[in-house]
Structure 1
Amino acid sequence: MTTLDVTNLIMKRIGERWTYRLLSALSDGELRFAELLRALAPVKAKVLSETLFRLESDGFVRRRIVDARPPQVKYQLTQLGRDMVGLMNSIARWASAHGDLVLSLANQASRELTP
């Protein structure tokens, strides 16, 4: 796999609807599934479960089973996940600073293309 392929794969993953919110929620510390579900409302449990599975598979999130009655599952960021949150926060700051200009230019281009 080329560097470009890997970059595209990562950009696709971080661009998914719930990824940034989920990683941001976990940046404050370890959370249980139900806590994440509340923090990310209105995400559906199935979507949250699938997103957590992908992020765990990619190495951004660690799943930990707590020996309790009933058993608990907690999620936390890995170092890779913490690094990604830092990068995503930088992108969010850039979007906040430049978003109005980007939207304005996109709207202008759209008007110019419309007959």
Structure 2
Amino acid sequence: MKENFKYARECVSIEEITCKRFEDGLNKDIKLLFGILELKEFVVLVSRACKAEELSKEKRKAYSEARDSRKRSMSKPYHSSSKKLRDHYNRSIASIGYSNRDRGKQHTSPKAQVTSVSSVGSIKTNKPECQ
């Protein structure tokens, strides 16, 4: 029985050595994580390393796509993007029911004007009515 115990300790130490060698070959970010976890089973170490590498690739891809998206938006003329934002803002405000006058601006757009005084004492809406 004593011999079996000695053999088991050797197996564990061989597995630990294998894990350590594997960890040494990992990239520095993953190696740092695995150093904290202190995984001793080689099979578990390999499967977790594969998962960590997969997640790392996805993260790099997301950063790359975000950077490319920012580059594309920066290359577009400022005027067109600001006009699109202004138009979107005006549409959203109009859908809520505010006019330009309610926001404190001095624009006189026929689309933005909600009410007008047609005669003394009466108010008429310029909104088209659904039929």
- Measured against the shorter chain, the TM-score band is under 0.3
Q: TM-score, normalised by structure 1?
A: 0.28
TM-score (norm 2): 0.25
Q: Which has the higher strand share?
A: 1
Point out which structure has higher relative CO (alpha carbons under 8 A, 6+ apart). 1
